[in-house]
Structure 1
Amino acid sequence: MKRDVKMADRIALIPVKGPIVGGGGSMIPRQPGAEMSKLVRQMLREAKEEADGVIFAPGGTPYPTKEIAQTVEEFGKPTVARIKENGLSGAYWIASSCDRIVADELSRVGGIGVSAFQPDFSELLEKLGVKFKSSATGKYKEQGLPFGSGEGEDFMEEHLEEVNKIFAESVAEARNLDEDEAEEVFEGKPYLGRQAKKVGLIDRLGGREEAVEECSEMMGSEEVDIVDYGEKMEKESRGLLGSVLDQLFG
């Protein structure tokens, strides 16, 4: 009589590489990470159908980072973040949305905070004899232009403070941190892995093996298969490109 053979449970390995920035709607050429939010969420949707748990190998601009973090929170299956080298800023926001975080003792973790940069070309333009004129309906409308208007700086600071508050509140809730007791944690300070564990930013020191152990424990599985969705998506992309090229030049 043929016995039923139980298939090993599957853990999806999802890489989050490069800067997490918004895509489209800009005259500036897209950066390599412009579609990272879209790609990660696509991998998560596939993994939800095919896998029993997820390990993330995870800064970025706030909105796409928040998009990924919310998708992870809503995943509904065990999730583990594995920080190999850097889990700072937006990368840590994503990591904190996972059930558990594993990081190498020499990794850099945290960097909880936001920043903004605005170049000021006004002195250079003045030396070159170039004058810049503009018209706007309000003093905040030209905020961010690199021509030294100086208007709306207080507004920008308020804006950053509000974004930072949302970031800190999300991390505090996810990691069960008291904002008053862990005030230093929310000042943008990066921690090495060992320090991060002491202040409650991670759960365990280790690498891929330890991350798999954590995920397997939550899944209640003794035997698991690891599916690298980064490689999977890359193969699918190459296959699609190959099909298009065959149709065009075959």
Structure 2
Amino acid sequence: MDVKSVTSKIPRIGDRGDRTDIVSVVKLHGVITPTPSPFTRGVINLAAVESALTRAFGHDRLKAVALLVNSPGGAPTQSGLVAERIRQLAAKKPGVEVLAFCEDVAASGGYWLACAADEIYAHRTSVVGSIGVISGGFGFAGLLERFGIERRLHTAGENKARLDPFTPEKPEDVEWLKKMHAQLHELFVDWVKERRGDRLAGTEELFTGDVWLGGRAMDLGLVDGIGSLREVIAQRYPDAQISVAEPKKPLLARLGIGAPAAASAMLDAVTQRAAWSRFGL
């Protein structure tokens, strides 16, 4: 017997033998950062979510892919990479809807991810928007001086040490950063306009970096409706089976080992906490 003909009859993992239609769910939860975390899955980047996205779009009787977005944003490049990957996979599944559901917050890069969907839904209390660019840091020049610590920095290239946190801030470096922000902001606005089109309200208020609750976000065209995943999927696909595609757990998380008390891990935790705190979460 031909082996290929046998294997082709085996139901794929996650599909039921009765050939029920499938709605895949992918959770995009956490701060968007290129920094890998071997201990938790509380970050979003392409490496972290690639396996889940691939499985979500891999079902034979797929009717829709639902993106559960809960993110205050983060790295613009990873936001773009994940969103582009979603569109690449969707292009291979014509007729399959991609729906995004904003949970607590879909702001900044989180909203960038939501815009990868064909339609966006939010809860009445969801925080949505923040179409802008932000970066931050600390300046330690005064601290070094106070303790008599000498900073030694050697470069080749006059702009190599821009915005070094251990030297006084230079106006020309700040101006350079603002220009970089303006370019990123333009790319963000172009992406939102491309994906949302004429559903957007004709107001520049949308692109000031402000955020709105779900109802106002719908008025502005940032989302298509108010509703949860459970409500919308039950209405559109009442007979479909829900299949949750989870990212693979990092090795140390599978072994049950917690995060180390290293300074770098603590700093990452503080940075991520600050990202959520900007939206009162």
Secondary structure at the counterpart of residue 129 of structure 1: coil
* 1:47 counterpart (56, 60, 75): 56
Percent identity of equivalent pairs? 24
Aligned-pair CA distance for 1:34: 5.0
Unaligned runs of 5+ in 1: 243-250
Letter of the 1:38 partner, please give it: A
Of 46, 69, 76, the residue aligned with 1:37 is 46
Superposition TM-score, scaled by structure 1 size: 0.80
* Equivalent residue for 1:163, pick from 184, 199, 204: 184
Unaligned runs of 5+ in 2: 1-16, 256-281
**Letter matched to residue 108 of structure 1:** V
Cα offset for 1:187? 0.8
1:172 deviation in Å?
A: 1.3
Counting only pairs closer than 5 Å after superposition, residues 68-217 of structure 1 correspond to structure 2 as 68-74=82-88, 75-76=90-91, 77-151=96-170, 152-176=173-197, 181-213=202-234, 216=236
Q: Distance in 2 between matches of 1:213 and 1:174?
A: 25
Deviation at 1:79?
0.4
**Quick check: 1:8 aligned with 2:20?**
yes
Runs of 4 or more off by more than 6 Å in structure 1? 28-31
Conserved 8 A contact 2:66-2:101: yes
The alpha-carbon distance between structure 1 residues 123 and 32, as it changes in their structure 2 partners (threshold 3 A), is farther
Quick one: structure 1 residues 179 and 154, their matched pair in 2 at CA, closer, same or farther if it must change by over 3 Å? Answer: farther
* Secondary structure of 2:167's aligned partner: coil
Q: How far apart, in 2, do the equivalents of 1:30 and 1:143 lie?
A: 32
Deviations 1:67-126 (A, max 9, x none): 111112222331000112111111110001100011001110001111111211111111
Does structure 1 retain, via aligned residues, the 8 Å contact 2:199–2:221? no
RMSD of aligned residue pairs (Cα, Å): 2.8
How many Å separate the matches in 2 of 1:178 and 1:13?
A: 25
Residue deviations 1:45-66 (CA, integer Å, cap 9, x gap) = 1122113321011112111111
Distance 1:178 1:211, change over 3 A: closer
Counterpart of 2:81 in structure 1: which amino acid? Answer: E
TM-score normalised by length of structure 2? 0.72
How many pairs were matched up? 226
Corresponding letter in the other structure for 2:52: M
Counterpart among 191, 209, 227 of residue 243 in structure 2: 227
Contact 1:55/1:211, CA 8 A, preserved across alignment = no
Residue 246 of structure 1: aligned partner: none
* Local SS of the residue matching 2:143: helix
Q: Which amino acid aligns with 1:17?
A: H
For 1:92 and 1:10, the matched residues in 2 are separated by: 25
Asked whether 1:18 is paired with 2:30, we answer yes
SS of alignment partner, residue 52 of structure 1: strand
